[in-house]
Structure formats: C-alpha cells, structure tokens
Amino acid sequence: MAGQGDFRHLTVLAMTDHLGLEKIDDYRWRIPRTGSMRVPGIIYSDEHLLKDIRMDQSPKQVANVAHLPGIIDYSLAMPDMHWGYGFPIGGVAATDLKTGVISPGGVGYDINCGCRLLRTDLSLGEVEPRLRELAGNLFNNIPCGVGSTGTIKLSAKEERRVLVDGAGWAVKNGYGDAEDLECTEEGGAMAGADPAAVSERAILRGRPQLGTLGSGNHFLEVDVVEELYDERAAAAFGLAGGMIAVLIHSGSRGFGYQVCDDYLREMGKAVRKYNISLPDRQLASAPLTSPEGEAYFAAMACAANYAWANRQCLMHWTRETFEKTLGASPNSLNLKLVYDVCHNIAKKETHTVHGEPREVCVHRKGATRAFPAGHRDLPDCYSSVGQPVLIPGDMGTCSYVLVGAELAMEQTFGSTCHGAGRVRSRSQSKRMTDSAQLLKDLKRKGIIVMARGKRTIAEEAPDAYKDVDRVVDVVHRAGLSKKVAKLRPLCVIKG
C-alpha cells in the first residue's frame, strides 16, 4: 500500500507532467508557454537530476515566475533547483527596468548569501598534523549558530555606514586589506543602498550579528585542492594541486531576513495597488519604477552590503586563526582572497536582448553570476580568463571552482548554479539522520566537523543534497560555466 509520502510524490509528478516538459537537448528542458504565462520556462538538468526535480513543486514555480510583468525571454532554473518561497531556489529571471517588476521572492530571505574563497601557500602535509587544533581554533574564533552574536559592537549610526560601504567599511576598520575589495563582486558594496529604506527592526537585528557565520547551510570549510581541470584559469586564480584553501559560506543574517520580511508585506499591498495578476501570492512584486520597488531595491542593497562586510570580517578572523595556530607570518601563508560571489540578489545589469544592449534587473535566487572573459565588470586580474564561480557541495563530498562562460551571457543572463541543491527538507533530514553515526562516517572519510548542535548536523546530512558532481557536470557541459578545480573538505565549521 502506498504511504502518505508516496501519494504526495504522485501528486507532484502529476503537476509536473501537466506542465508538458519538452526536451530541447541533453541539458535543457522547456516548459511551454500556456495560459497567462508571458514567456516559456527553461530548466537546466540531465535525465537523472530531473527525477529529483520532478519530486517537488519547483517546476511549477518556474512556470509561475513566467507570469511576472516585464519578464524577458525565459523563466530559468538551474540543475540544483528545489522548492523555495515564490521563486524556486535555483531560479533566474530578468525583468525590464521600465515595464518590469522586482520581487523579494526572487531574491530570498538571506539576501546576498554567498561564498568567499581563500587560497594559501600551504600544502596538505604542512596542515594535516595541526588540522584538529586548527579546526578547534576556527570553531572558537568564528561566532556561529542560531542567533549568534559577534565581537563587533556597532552603534546605529555606524551600522548605517556598514549598509552603505559594505566590505569597504570592514577594511577601513582593520578587517582586511584594500586588495580584498578588488576580488569581491561589486567591490564589496552595491550602489543604491539607502538605510532610510530599512526598518528599525532590521537595524536592531543586524547590530549584534556582524561577523557571525550563522547556522543551517552556512559553513567555513578548510579544503585541499584535489583536482585541476583548467590549468590556465587555475593559475589565474592562484590555485594549484595539493594546496590548502578555505571556503566561507554566509549571508546577511537576521538583518537580511528582516528586510525581506518587511517588504513582502509592502509588496502584498503593491500587487493590489498596481493591479498585478500573479498565480502565487509569494511572487508579490512592485514595478521597478514605483516607490515600493525603488525602496525595496535600496533596502536589499543595504542587506547585500551587510553580507559583504560580514564575510570580510569572517575572512579576517580566519586569517588570524591560521597565523596563530600555525605560528606563521601573513607573508608565509599568503592567505589571499580568490573571489567573493553572491547567489541571492537582484541586480541591474546590461545584457544583449534581441541583438541590442539593454539594462535589465536580473533576479538570481540560489544562482551565481558567471561572467565570461573580457566582461567589463570583472577585476583586471581575471579579465583574460573570466569570473571565478564558487559552488559549495555538502560537508561530506566536495566543492568546486568554475569560471564564467560566454554561453551564459547568451542563455541565462550570465548565471549558473550555486550549490548541490536539497532533495530533502531540513525537517525530513532531522527525522531520518543519526547525527552521531554521521559524524563517525565523516571522520572515517577524514573530515572533521564541528557544530553548535546535533540538529544542524542532521539537517545538513550529505544525502539531503543532490550529487554536486552531477550538478556541476550539467552546467559545465551545458556551457554556462567551466570546471577549474575540485576541493575536498578536511574540516567543516557549522552553526
């Protein structure tokens, strides 16, 4: 007899079948335009991943996004896609600046959740004997966990400077170097931020949390570069086989969450005010040119800047911890930022649309920017190869460094995947995972995991995620971004 979960899956499959997915090629599937959809949907996937994708309502969400006013060409989704609020996580949509809307559901609650990769001159042999000590010191020095607070004490006035200056504020206050900003998306500060568009509740929530990792899927990971695929790009990024690297994944903490929460209420009113017809209230939007749309963009930019400052501070303390633990000088470690890229954002960018340059608003929710070589927004050091793309896996497998490709500009508004993508919810994973056994299994694989609680370990179990190798293989073979290096985790710090 079928269980309740089986009936749910059958229902979702029936909904997906109703969408009439059409295979375009080995890595693209079209959702035909029907009813009041303004554009078709495109899902990037292979046959295997499509089975997981069809088990939730994310394909239906791709079709729902296609109803947004001013949407251009397609509603897109990456191979790590899964169900989210409004947009699927892994969703991409560009809207016209004059006739289009902006939707908080197309950015998400954790505004500018993103990744920051550091490279070192250390080899595995140099770090391995001190790895457990290093992991313990990182765990003690990097504030993490639900509701964690940091050592930075901000006044309301100073916090507003963070919201405008982003990572630049952190550097100015001693948390890093000016060269870090050159290798951060947007230079670590998004234009258009206006603290006046932010609620006092958001200011209060953000004040004690700057410089904290958070919980859930956020982490700090010490890796070894296990495999290289593109020697030229790897050399440009400063990566070599056997090298120790550090990957930091965090976002805008409670500040960004509150900004999203505040504006979802405002957008609900805006939908009625501007007579916007949508199939899902979670897609609540406002015209980009409206007071509500402009206010959300200004507040979202504040949250993005908070997140860049946050990761800058986390990186600074990571550097200090390496230096003190290993008794090494900064010069001998050469612990430098490769790149910082966000994957929950809406940005105004110029793209070629129907043969003409056009400024659009690109929503990337659980999707990463992937600009190719020669793009004007790249730092000089990467202009000849393309933008580093950072794709974290789960704590039991591996993460990847890729590079942006020209085809992404033609097909996805310069976007690619952002991670492995969940196949089980956090609540399901908690019910199904023995945390103690999982830690033993990871230890046998040579991976040290340190976390504030067993709940996080269970929620983030590797089998709760898609196969990151396969996800990355899809975007690589589809030509959206190209593999550069594979990183194997040695220790993982989680909230």
Q: With CA atoms as reference, report the closest residue to 464 among 489, 428, 440, 439.
A: 428
CA distance 181 to 168: 7
- Other CB atoms within 10 A of residue 333 CB: 17
Q: What are the Cα distances from residue 7, in Å, to 19, 83, 306?
A: 19, 18, 43
Phi, psi angles (nearest 5°) of residue 415: -130, 155
Q: With CA atoms as reference, report the closest residue to 246 among 343, 144, 318, 331.
A: 318
Residue 453, SS3?
coil
67 is catalytic: no
Return the C-alpha torsion angle 369, 371, 377, 380, nearest 10: 120
CA distance 68 to 277: 8
Q: Write the DSSP string, 241-304.
A: TTEEEEEEEE--HHHHHHHHHHHHHHHHHHHHHTT---S-GGG--EETTSHHHHHHHHHHHHHH
Strand order in the sheet with 28-31: 22-25, 28-31, 41-44, 75-82, 89-96, 356-365, 344-353
Residue 386, SS3?
strand
Any idea what the Cα angle at residue 368 is, between residues 319 and 46, rounded to 5°?
125
- Would you state the structure tokens that stand for residue 168, as one six-digit string? 């630049």
SS (H, E, C) 291-358: HHHHHHHHHHHHHHHHHHHHHHHHHHHHHHHHHHHHCCCHHHHCCEEEEEEECEEEEEEEEEECCEEE
DSSP code at position 364: E
Let me know: does 111 contact 256? Beta carbons within 8 Å.
yes
State the catalytic residue, choosing from 67, 82, 316, 418. 418
Kindly state the greatest CA–CA separation across the chain: 65
Let me know: does 303 contact 194? Beta carbons within 8 Å.
no
Q: Which amino acid is at 27?
A: Y
- The separation between CA 261 and the C-alpha centre of its own chain, rounded to angstroms, equals 19
Q: What are the Cα distances from residue 485, in Å, to 60, 180, 234, 318?
A: 34, 21, 7, 22
Beta bridge mates, 101: 287
Active-site residues: which are they? Answer: 418
